[in-house]
Amino acid sequence: MARRTEQRRAAVVALYQSDVTGRPAADLVERGASPFTRELVEGVEADLGALDEAIARHASGWSLDRIAPLERNILRVAVHEMRNRSDIPDEVAIDEAIEAAKELCSADAPGFVNGVLGAVQRDAGANGAGDERGGAEERGR
């Protein structure tokens, strides 16, 4: 079985392809994809509006449409993990996103990704949530 790093990359790639083609990401996940990859893709798609709102709120000076599609999807996966995966520490989600940005994006992307995710993490702590984990019901939806 592939390491979780590769499984995250597969989710990011499927979500990126969906973003640029308009096709459903679930249709773009490789046939042999792991359950973890599928959960990430499905989770991001299910909570896309809230994820995008959190990213846009914390990307100082950047509207969501100005963020490159690959970076946007790296951020979506990481914020999804930070909010919904209690088995994954925020620091791991952030580090994995930074590493993906180093590997897949421009030289400025890792710092940008780190800044946005750090702001998301700080905001979650400042709101008394400790982190933003929990289902939509816990977040008032």
pLDDT given for residue 134 in this prediction: 43
Longest CA–CA span in the chain (Å) reads 41
CA distances 106 to 19, 57, 58, 110, 129, Å, are 18, 22, 20, 8, 33
| pLDDT at position 138 | 34
pLDDT at 1: 52
Q: Is the Cβ–Cβ distance between 19 and 69 less than 8 Å?
A: yes
pLDDT digits (tens, 9 = 90+) for 34-48: 999 999 999 999 999
Condensed to tens digits (0 to 9), the pLDDT of residues 71-129 reads: 999 999 999 999 999 999 999 999 999 999 999 999 999 999 999 999 999 998 776 55
